Copies of this chain bind each other. A is one copy, B any other.
Amino acid sequence: MLNGEPMKIAVVAPSCTLSREAADRLLALVAERGDCEVAVHPQCFLSDGHFAGPDDARLSALREVMADSSVDAVWFARGGYGSNRIAEALVSSLPDEARSKVYLGYSDAGFLHAGLHKADLKVAWGPMPQDLMREGGRGAVTRALDWLVQGDQAALEPQLEGPPMAFNLTVLAALLGTVLEPDFSGVDLLIEDVSEHHYRIDRTMFHVTGSPNVRRAARLRLGRVGDIPSNDPDFGRDEVAIVREWCERSGIAYGGRADIGHDVLNRVVPFTR
């Protein structure tokens, strides 16, 4: 509740299309809660090849909700791929109204997180509406809302030693050297990834830990790494061993794996300074 008004959350899709069923489940969940309003932007259901509409449509929907002074939070509908295509244009001109909001999402949305955080906006890594379609998704989305609407600290990733950031490993790698690249100095850096072969994780860890910027992080922790495709021959070591080895080789403190039994995708990591 803000000034007696329920929090207003706008959902837009800067990457891939939100499913109608996920949107319906979200609206039902929000109606049950009664502590916030959610507006799912029609752009979420556009489709243009891989994307939720052409770059222009995704960018203008995002700009629209960012400029709307009645919106308290902008929630990215889902990941996939595509927010990088509009991130640089987005941050090149930000409306003043954008600064009072919180931006929530994960995975591909990391391109926006990087750019918006760099522009001093409030971003957080956390569950997204499309997660309602997967197992445990209702719990995850509920936690996201508990944090957004009520500031529930139980929704946070445990053991954060600020300032924290969280990124999909592949997205983090693709940020290096671009204008969106964050400053990792002193950052408690959580990484996760999905659907990447072990050899790709190894190659990306080589890349990421070869960056002098990433080497300035306070520590690196490994979150959820899921859906690893099998490889022939077997890579010979798992993702924990891979991440630990590259941290050791590059002098980055390895903070261990986030607790077994929870899923980093399901918790909130607010980027703070």
Which residues of A are in contact with B by a Cβ distance under 8 Å? Answer: 47-51, 81-82, 84-85, 170, 173-180, 198-199, 202-204, 206-207, 210-213, 231, 233-237
Given contacts A85-B206, A206-B85, contact A50 B177 (CB under 8 A): no
Contact of A49 among B203, B212, B235 (CB under 8 A): B235
CB distance from A110 to the nearest CB of B (A): 12
Q: For A174, A198, A237, which residue has the most chain B Cβ atoms within 10 angstroms?
A: A174
15 CB contacts below 8 A, A to B, read A48-B236, A49-B233, A49-B234, A50-B231, A50-B233, A50-B236, A81-B199, A81-B203, A85-B202, A174-B203, A174-B206, A175-B207, A176-B207, A177-B210, A179-B210
CB distance from A176 to the nearest CB of B (A): 5
Which residue of chain B lies nearest to A85 when distances are taken between CB atoms in the complex? B206
Q: For A82, A179, A203, which residue has the most chain B Cβ atoms within 10 angstroms?
A: A203
Collect the chain B residues with CB atoms within 8 Å of residue A199's CB: 50, 81-82
CB atoms of B236 and A202 under 8 A apart: no
CB distance from A84 to the nearest CB of B (A): 5
4 closest Cβ contacts across the A-B interface? A49-B236, A178-B210, A174-B207, A81-B199
CB atoms of A233 and B47 under 8 A apart: yes
Collect the chain B residues with CB atoms within 8 Å of residue A177's CB: 176-177, 207, 210-213
Collect the chain B residues with CB atoms within 8 Å of residue A174's CB: 173, 203-204, 206-207
CB atoms of A178 and B50 under 8 A apart: no
- Expressed in whole angstroms, the Cα–Cα distance for A170 and B202 within the complex equals 13
CB atoms of B81 and A178 under 8 A apart: no
